Amino acid sequence: MKKIELTTEDRGRRVEVVGEVISNKMNKTISVLIYRLVRHAKYGKYMKRTSVFKAHDEENVAKIGDVVRIKETRPLSKTKRWALVEIVESAKA
């Protein structure tokens, strides 16, 4: 019988987004602000919309103002469904 090894590609699509850390006051959790462009249904104009996601930060390394990449993950708490992948750009001190 063959042993099947699962990789991240086999486990389905994992959405990754880039956003800015707006809060790191929680233990092992950051709040990340995401901007996206949405096209208006009637007028066709593109509007900027925002979303705030809670993301898991195991080592508490992200600071306010950092630009980070987060990925979708299993539910970790009531509101936390994202995990920190990397810090793309550090905040200006």
Would you kindly state where each structural domain of the chain is located, as residue ranges? 16-89
Tens of pLDDT along the chain (93 residues) come to: 555 554 556 667 789 999 999 999 999 999 999 999 999 999 999 999 999 999 999 999 999 999 999 999 999 999 999 999 999 999 886
Q: Which residues contact 16 (CB under 8 A, 6 or more apart)?
A: 69, 70, 71, 72, 85
Whole-number mean pLDDT of the chain?
90
CATH fold group of domain 16-89? OB fold (Dihydrolipoamide Acetyltransferase, E2P) (2.40.50)
pTM of the model: 0.81
Give pLDDT, residue 13: 79
Give pLDDT, residue 58: 94
Give pLDDT, residue 5: 54
The two structure tokens encoding residue 45 = 């104009």
Which amino acid, one-letter code, is at 41?
A
